[in-house]
């Protein structure tokens, strides 16, 4: 297994495929099917080139199986936080420890950049992801926000991780 920063040689189509398969697997009972149907294959990874976004890829036997995006917090009220914007795996690799390695890589990279506090947002109804984050040391902050995805108002909950002082 290898986790590294995305390079210009990495296939955006492969990364888009990871997003598409992961979203359809994780959110099929949360987000309306019409939303999935509205996004053409190959167009799922449009946000990864946003300014300030850093993208990691995970490979197993030279096959891209996961991706993650990190950045300085996009929330004005949390400027001292690093943010994990996304962590996605191909469905066949979920539940085998790969997500934990990708999460650890994200927190390590943000910590190297000087962030002692990390936040991420997760859909409230995504109970599998919430259990995963809690099992891996993130804490539900109790803060929430609404997001409209596919014409449906969905609640996102903020999770945080604070590195212990040395």
| pTM greater than 0.75 (yes/no) | yes
Quickly list H helices, the chain.
Answer: 12-27, 33-38, 98-112, 127-135
Between 34 and 64, name the one with better pLDDT. Answer: 64
Q: Give the pLDDT confidence score for residue 97 in this predicted structure.
A: 96
Residue 34: exposed, middle, or buried by beta-carbon count in 10 A (0-12, 13-18, 19+)?
exposed
Q: Answer yes or no: CATH 3.40.630.30 is held by domain 2-116.
A: yes
pLDDT in tens, 66-83: 999 999 999 999 999 999
Q: Which of the 8 DSSP states describes residue 81?
A: E
pLDDT in tens, 14-37: 999 999 999 999 999 999 988 988
Do 86 and 38 form a contact (C-beta atoms < 8 A)? no
How far does the chain reach from its first CA to its final CA, in angstroms?
30
The 10 Å CB-count burial string (b at 16+, else e) for 42-72 is eebbeebeeeebbbbbbeeeeebbbbbbbbb
Between 115 and 164, name the one with better pLDDT. Answer: 115
**Predicted confidence band of residue 52 (pLDDT cuts 50, 70, 90):** confident
pLDDT in tens, 95-124: 999 999 999 999 999 999 999 999 999 999
Residues 27, 22: Cα–Cα separation, whole Å? 8
Q: Give the pLDDT confidence score for residue 63 in this predicted structure.
A: 96
């Amino acid at each position: 297994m290898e986790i590294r920063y995305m390079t210009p040689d990495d296939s955006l189509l492969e990364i888009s495929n990871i997003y598409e398969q992961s979203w359809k697997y994780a959110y099929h009972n949360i987000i309306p099917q019409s939303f999935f149907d509205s996004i053409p294959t190959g167009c799922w990874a449009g946000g990864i080139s946003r300014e300030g976004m850093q993208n990691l890829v995970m490979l197993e036997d030279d096959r891209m199986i996961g991706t993650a995006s990190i950045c300085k917090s996009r929330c004005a009220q949390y400027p001292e936080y690093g943010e994990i914007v996304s962590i996605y795996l191909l469905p066949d690799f979920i539940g085998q420890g790969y997500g934990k390695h990708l999460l650890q890589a994200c927190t390590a990279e943000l910590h190297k950049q000087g962030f002692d506090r990390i936040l991420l947002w997760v859909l409230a109804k995504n109970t599998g992801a919430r259990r995963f984050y809690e099992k891996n040391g993130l804490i539900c902050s109790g803060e929430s926000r609404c997001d409209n995805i596919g014409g449906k108002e969905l609640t996102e909950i903020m999770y945080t991780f604070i590195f212990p002082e040395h």
